[in-house]
Structure 1
Amino acid sequence: MPFRFRLEKVARYRRQLVDEQSRAVARAGRVVATIEARMAALDDDIARQRARGACGGPDVSVRGMMSRTLWIEHLVGIREDHARELAMARLAFDAERAKLAAAWRDQEILEKLRAQQKAAWEAEERRRENRDLDEIGQIRADRQRRSKIAS
């Protein structure tokens, strides 16, 4: 009779959870990377706008300077929104990663239990086989002894 792990359905479910959590961590990581890329692009745009404003020259109007300043403030506001969004995305990423770690631990515990149960089953099979072989040897020895006595 082959080894049968009684918690196989649970182990399969745990493996599914690990796979799902891995995908969730990957999604959360992509969200963080996307927001970071947007923030980097905004930082570059803000730096360019500020550099343009610094070297405006003598023919820059007050209206143009005000417009540029308001635009830079608008970009900074968007960047601050992205910074808040990034903080939330990082928290979500950390939470998903913690769930993945917990799912891995649960799966590892079941795998260790499976290994222990299989080792115990194999040891019992060896004992049973040795007992059967000993019994066969005993029967054989008894037959040989009887045949020697009879002859």
Structure 2
Amino acid sequence: MPRPFRFNLDKVLEYRSQLEDQAKIALSKAQQALRDHDRFLEMLEGDLDLQREKLASTALSAAELWLLRSYIQRLEHDLALGRQRRIELAQDVHNCREELAARAKDRKLLEKLKETQAARHVAEENRKEQAGFDEMATLRYQPPVV
């Protein structure tokens, strides 16, 4: 009866799988933050375009004109800050993607080791079994009597 294969590094493999799962979650959160920020930037750009059209199309008093120009300047400033923040968020997504790739590589490396050891174990068990059969056949062999 062949003994079952037991991989000594199962706990390490499990831990690396957990690290990979955590990296997947971090990547997902980073991508969601980037998508949300992109929607926010689109909203700011739309509002800025709307205010510029309003400035160009209507006759305004001096106070309204000053107020609208100040608002437009603030929107432009917020948009510039938002674009900087988008660059940071995109870099976070890139870093998370690299981290996930590294974690997946670590896990796959251990899985490959497990597969190799399992194949080696099966081959060794088959060799031992065959050696037992050969020994049994040798012991039972009775040469023909002449």
Scaled to the shorter chain, the TM-score interval is: over 0.9
1: distance between equivalents of 2:26 and 2:105? 17
The aligned counterpart of 1:136 is 136
- The one-letter code matched in structure 1 to 2:103 is A
Larger radius of gyration: 1
2: distance between equivalents of 1:43 and 1:103? 38
Given the alignment of the two structures, is residue 14 of structure 1 paired with residue 16 of structure 2, yes or no?
Answer: yes
The aligned counterpart of 2:74 is 74
| Aligned-pair CA distance for 1:44 | 0.5
- The one-letter code matched in structure 1 to 2:111 is E
The aligned counterpart of 2:36 is 34
Given the alignment of the two structures, is residue 5 of structure 1 paired with residue 30 of structure 2, yes or no?
Answer: no
How high is the TM-score relative to the length of structure 2?
0.93
| Aligned-pair CA distance for 1:79 | 1.2
The aligned counterpart of 2:109 is 109
The aligned counterpart of 1:44 is 46
How many residue pairs are counted as aligned between the two chains?
144
2: distance between equivalents of 1:129 and 1:79? 74
2: distance between equivalents of 1:141 and 1:79? 91
Deviations 1:18-62 (A, max 9, x none): 0000000001111111111100000000011111111114xx212
2: distance between equivalents of 1:137 and 1:53? 101
1: distance between equivalents of 2:76 and 2:132? 82
| Aligned-pair CA distance for 1:84 | 1.4
Deviations 1:56-104 (A, max 9, x none): 14xx212212211110111111111111111111111111111110000
Runs of 4+ in structure 1 displaced over 2 angstroms? none
| Aligned-pair CA distance for 1:125 | 0.8
| Within-5 A mapping of 1:89-128 | 89-128=89-128
- The one-letter code matched in structure 2 to 1:17 is L
- The percentage of aligned residue pairs carrying the same residue is 29
2: distance between equivalents of 1:47 and 1:139? 96
Q: Tell me, what secondary structure is at the counterpart of 2:141?
A: helix
1: distance between equivalents of 2:110 and 2:91? 29
RMSD of aligned alpha carbons: 1.4
Gaps of 5+ in 2: none
| Aligned-pair CA distance for 1:136 | 1.5
